[in-house]
């Protein structure tokens, strides 16, 4: 007869599997509609479970979205961090840009989910703080790319500007008409390298005034 410890572990494993099922379904639905247009019933249908079952694991739609976004962003950051650790200081900016564009092209649902939420979603309270944790971790990672720059450099402002530029590349060219997936990515990487060159020229020019 299984021990209480064994049964507890089995229940935990079953719960984790059910949470993963719900999150996978939510990720798919959030990637096709704006956050404010998604219903829990749609997520339940995608998961193949009753809507009431979702509330056993997530108290509301906001909590479910946050958990899906949190997990995916953590995965993205972990991959990026590993990539940057393989590079020396002079190679990190180019590596970061290349990985950002490649990852968000390969993970279309994640990119769509985050972009749609950025445009139309609104999170508050504890849920907002959880997303803020990964957002700050990502920005801290971007700051490291500029770590060896002159002391007067506003690294966080550069990180925000870089993030905005890379997001703009994806929005502008992710669905570039008349191009294959490989051709779109190659074009975005070319634009990304130009962005890298512009950043390096700006940083290395001592005459540039500090932005207000």
The 10s digit of each residue's pLDDT in 4-30 is 676 566 678 888 899 999 999 999 898
Q: How far apart are CA 80 and CA 84, in angstroms?
A: 6
DSSP assigned state of 149: S
DSSP assigned state of 187: H
* 186-209 per-position pLDDT tens digit: 999 999 999 999 998 988 875 555
Q: How far apart are CA 68 and CA 20, in angstroms?
A: 9
Q: How far apart are CA 50 and CA 210, in angstroms?
A: 56
Q: How far apart are CA 174 and CA 196, in angstroms?
A: 19
pLDDT at 95: 95
Q: How far apart are CA 56 and CA 28, in angstroms?
A: 20
Q: Which of 91, 112, 102 is nearest to 28 (CA)?
A: 112
pTM: 0.83
| φ/ψ of residue 88, rounded to 5 | -85, 175
pLDDT at 26: 92
pLDDT at 212: 57
């Amino acid at each position: 007869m299984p021990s209480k410890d064994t049964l507890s572990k089995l229940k935990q494993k079953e719960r984790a599997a059910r949470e993963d099922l719900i999150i996978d379904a939510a990720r798919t639905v959030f990637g096709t509609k704006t956050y404010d247009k998604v219903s829990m019933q749609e997520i339940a249908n995608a998961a193949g479970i009753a809507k009431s079952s979702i509330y056993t694991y997530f108290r509301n739609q906001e909590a479910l979205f946050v958990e899906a976004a949190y997990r995916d962003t953590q995965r993205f950051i972990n991959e990026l961090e590993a990539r940057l650790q393989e590079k020396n200081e002079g190679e990190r900016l180019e590596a970061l840009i290349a990985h950002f564009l490649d990852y968000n092209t390969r993970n279309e649902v994640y990119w769509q989910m985050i972009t749609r939420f950025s445009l139309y979603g609104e999170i508050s309270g504890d849920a907002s703080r959880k997303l803020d944790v990964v957002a700050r971790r990502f920005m801290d990672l971007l700051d490291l790319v500029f770590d060896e720059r002159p002391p007067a450099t506003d690294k966080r402002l550069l990180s925000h500007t870089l993030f905005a530029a890379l997001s703009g590349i994806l929005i502008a060219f992710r669905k570039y008409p008349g191009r294959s997936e490989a051709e779109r990515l190659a074009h975005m990487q070319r634009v990304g390298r130009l962005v890298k060159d512009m950043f390096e020229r700006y940083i290395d020019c001592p005459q540039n005034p500090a932005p207000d």
